[in-house]
Structure 1
Amino acid sequence: MRLVADAYRIADDVLFSGAAEVDRTGAIPATHWSAIAEAGLFGIAAPADAGGPDLDFAQVIEISEVMASGCLATAFTWQQHHGVVISLATTANNRLREGLFAATASGALRAGVAYAGVVPTPPRMRATRLDGGWRFDGHAPFVSGWGIVDLLQISARDADTDDVLAAILPIEQPPDAITVTPLHLGVADATRTVSLAVTGLVVPDDRIVSRVTLDDFFATQNTGVRINGTLPLGLVRRCAALLDVGGHPRAARALRDRGSTIRTALDAGLTDAATLIAARADGAQLAVDAAATLIAADGGKALLRGAHPERLAREAAFTLVAASRPQLKELLVDRFSARPGARTP
């Protein structure tokens, strides 16, 4: 499949070759985005009946993992885009779909998401019905891609019914109702992550892309967690490749074998949330182990700022918390604090 082959090429020749500079400068170059767009990789999640490439889910997962092996900051920002493509492809809001879908699927418009405000109870983001639209109020603590994306899909819970609404807004000129606070990350700072405070944001009905019950919203979250699981496994791919180059094929093979086991468990977890969260924790733990293996193999030079092992170790830490859930956090805390040889649930 051409899209899969192009993902491998871009991950190695464009993303990985520039990853150290992205990390140093905190900026993703325009050439990354143009290469991804030209290859058609912004539209991989678009369904065939909407004009998409008709990839199966396994191919989408492989592409996502490979892209994460190239540059974590680029891949994480790019991953947010696919949820918006799916929303536009499936929305009943024909006018919104006709106006935005083609440009979003092609990458002519880049998109981000702010949905974490609806996950906790009570929610951080509420929507109140107005005549002809909605008023959004609340807080989105971590939103990536600010200054990179053109569109933001922001989600909130209906103050009366607890249904989850999602709106797609242009953000080239943020409205006065949104206060933006930049967050400076110790790793993947190029994701341009910010915190948003929303006060009295009026969203007309023609910008609403979806409305679902809270139960239906959470029923779709397993897919998002599975895609997020490609981040640590992408880092494992890169660490194993560098170990091969450095003359440590046995260690590389062992890491790949562990990754294959976790990948199988993640796939099984699509229908079992507990299995999925455990496998996602396994993936994050393996990313940390893989980076540590690479540092041990490379020795003192691995600690030089900007060296691939040093950066990958920080990126492995990123996968411990990126798009996390309370259950995942608790599981990782238990695992990393357990005495050697002890088993955790």
Structure 2
Amino acid sequence: MTTDPETRRTRLIEDAYRIADDVLFPAASDVDRTGEIPSSHWTAIAEAGLFGIAAPEESGGPGLDFAHVIEIMEVMASGCLTTAFTWLQHHGVVITLTGTSNDTLRDELFEATAAGRLRAGVAYAGVVPTPPRMRATRIPGGWRFDGQAPFVSGWGIVDLLQISARDVDTDDVLAAVIPLAPAPAAITVTPLHLSVADGTRTVALAVENLVIPDDRVVSRVSLDDFFASQNIGVRINGTLPLGLLRRCAALLDISGHTPAARALRERGSAVRARLDSGVTDADTLISARADGAQLALEAAAALIAADGGRGLLRGNHPERLAREAAFTLVAASRPQLKDLLVERFSEG
């Protein structure tokens, strides 16, 4: 890849569109049917440099603006939601390694992770509720993690797991990056068989007496700071429904329903603007995220209506996209978002 910064950034965006349209989308129905993401997907994404898009320039990354990172994520979601959702988890680990004060761990993992030679996932949902599902207890030389992580994607696909827990004494949130080859014996894995995006290899984890040495800890923040940082994650997750909207609109164009496609894109632009403005306002962000999920459902419904009976055939794009739109109602969600969606869908 070229070393000229501007050319490199332009090439990343162009390659995201190319991979989404020419590699991911043509295989999306097979991925949905088989529950398997081809290894060639990961190779193409790594060769294009798309595992490192969140890394700043001073760390050796491309230094993309946040808006361009969001654009790439949205485009990738339009290609194959299963692949994109699994790939999205990786960037949280890249960001954490970039900002960690654990220089040794950063030196060990950052380059390979940003390049996609090591793939990473996250398990932080256990610290979101109160009381937390995942707890950390101080022991000599490290920490003991105990609890549950109810929804972890990429098991068997990722090489590293960033797992978070709340300190039982202070309620601070600790995050550690651990290797999964082999998986620690202290982790019990229960596969979750999803009706859509099953290729994400999502599992529930039960953790008992998982010893984390201090040298695997990448961050420790207060609970307030942890929740303040979650707005970025919610904004990133907002790329999923808008990616599905992009694909639905493109297929409506192909079927001759250009006015409908145009109207959906205009509505998507308005949701995107509200998501962007909500990064500093949690209430606005959650409302916009709900708007995006609703719009994805409506876009998929429009596509099914346009396609007629064929749209209901198992594995056809409209049917799959409708199930994927439902996935965005709950994937990487928050209690506030779920409550808002229940309220909206139950209104007369």
TM-score after normalising by structure 1 = 0.98
Match of 1:130 among 139, 151, 163: 139
C-alpha separation between the residues in 2 aligned to 1:268 and 1:317? 25
Matched AA of 1:98: D
SS of equivalent to 2:165:
strand
Unaligned runs of 5+ in 1: 340-345
In the alignment, is residue 173 of structure 1 matched against residue 182 of structure 2?
yes
TM-score after normalising by structure 2 = 0.97
Per-residue deviation, residues 35-71 of structure 1 (Å, max 9, x unmatched): 0000000000001111110100000000000000000
Per-residue deviation, residues 207-243 of structure 1 (Å, max 9, x unmatched): 0011011111111000000000000000000000000
In the alignment, is residue 333 of structure 1 matched against residue 323 of structure 2?
no
C-alpha separation between the residues in 2 aligned to 1:37 and 1:255? 32
Per-residue deviation, residues 307-335 of structure 1 (Å, max 9, x unmatched): 00000000000000011111100110111
SS of equivalent to 1:154:
strand
In the alignment, is residue 206 of structure 1 matched against residue 215 of structure 2?
yes
Equivalent positions of 1:59-138 (< 5 A) are: 59-138=68-147
Matched AA of 1:212: V
Partner residue, 2:5: none
Matched AA of 1:206: D
Matched AA of 1:195: A
Matched AA of 2:72: I
In the alignment, is residue 42 of structure 1 matched against residue 66 of structure 2?
no
Matched AA of 1:301: R
Match of 1:235 among 239, 244, 266: 244
Per-residue deviation, residues 180-214 of structure 1 (Å, max 9, x unmatched): 00000000000000000000000000000110111
Partner residue, 1:30: 39
Equivalent positions of 1:270-281 (< 5 A) are: 270-281=279-290
In the alignment, is residue 153 of structure 1 matched against residue 169 of structure 2?
no
Partner residue, 1:292: 301
Offset, 1:96:
0.3
C-alpha separation between the residues in 2 aligned to 1:92 and 1:277? 31
C-alpha separation between the residues in 1 aligned to 2:187 and 2:100? 25
C-alpha separation between the residues in 2 aligned to 1:334 and 1:119? 22
Partner residue, 1:189: 198
Unaligned runs of 5+ in 2: 1-9
Runs of 4+ residues over 3 Å off in structure 1: none
Structural RMSD (CA): 0.4
Per-residue deviation, residues 218-275 of structure 1 (Å, max 9, x unmatched): 1100000000000000000000000000000000001000000000000000010000
SS of equivalent to 1:200:
strand
In the alignment, is residue 309 of structure 1 matched against residue 325 of structure 2?
no
Partner residue, 1:342: none
C-alpha separation between the residues in 2 aligned to 1:320 and 1:197? 25
C-alpha separation between the residues in 1 aligned to 2:39 and 2:332? 25
Partner residue, 1:324: 333
Per-residue deviation, residues 125-184 of structure 1 (Å, max 9, x unmatched): 000000000000000000000000000000000000000000000012111110000000
Partner residue, 2:227: 218
C-alpha separation between the residues in 2 aligned to 1:38 and 1:181? 32
C-alpha separation between the residues in 2 aligned to 1:271 and 1:131? 39
Partner residue, 1:343: none
SS of equivalent to 1:184:
coil
SS of equivalent to 2:51:
helix
C-alpha separation between the residues in 1 aligned to 2:54 and 2:100? 14
C-alpha separation between the residues in 2 aligned to 1:201 and 1:107? 27
Offset, 1:337:
1.1
How many residues are paired up?
339
